[in-house]
Chain A
């Protein structure tokens, strides 16, 4: 069935390196995507979003890239810091925003080595 998934369940990077977390989606009608960061024992924290009329969006140290051709979403974190260690989820909106229902991937765990 259709789902939002992640290519890598775990990712380990060296402090100061760039991180890339990937996400595949299967519903070509999805028009809105969000990346969340969830630290252990806490609720997900909004990081950045992107709509389907864009290919790239940048925030503070983070960049989201959207490739609609292959239905792929990625989150790039520049100069990864220990505080970036968390589980990262992508989410897609499938119903055109009528209720704001999001479908979440299972997450990728990012570990930053000092």
Chain B
């Protein structure tokens, strides 16, 4: 069966510090991968998606970036965090041939102080 992992589970970072969140998927090959942010009491906002290694599409202009160095690894980064970057970050995957059905990881709660 497929599983998706995210780490760290929680993170407290000062404003201006860098960020690296990691997501890995097991049990499937060539997945589509997604990064979402969920602010408190709000819906999910798609940040990035990837259809393959090195292929990243950005949905929202911001100080975040994403990379996909391996087929089942997706990384969310920032060089300098802002207070507004606080939130719950979710990674998701979908099967290449059934793109619409997305499965989510456990999430990373980020607090920028």
Chain A interface (Cβ within 8 Å of chain B)? 32, 34, 36, 41-46, 49, 89, 91, 93, 97-102, 104-107
Contacts and interface: CB of A to CB of B under 8 A. Distances in A.
Interface of B: 6, 32, 34, 41-44, 46, 49, 51, 57, 59, 90, 94, 99-107, 109
Contact of B49 (A36, A43, A46, A99): A99
A41 B99 CA distance: 26
Contacts of B105: 43
Given A42-B107, A44-B90, A97 B100 contact: yes
Given A44-B90, A99-B32, A34 B101 contact: yes
B43 A99 contact: no
B90 A43 contact: yes
B101 A49 contact: yes
A29 B60 CA distance: 23
Nearest to A46: B103
A99 B51 contact: yes
Given A97-B99, A99-B49, 19 more contacts: A34-B102, A36-B104, A42-B106, A43-B90, A44-B90, A46-B102, A46-B103, A49-B100, A89-B43, A99-B32, A99-B51, A100-B34, A100-B99, A100-B100, A101-B46, A101-B59, A102-B102, A104-B44, A106-B42
A102 B36 CA distance: 11
A36 B102 CA distance: 10
A63 B110 CA distance: 35
A44 B44 contact: yes
Contacts of A36: 104
A9 B102 CA distance: 23
Contacts of A44: 44, 90, 104
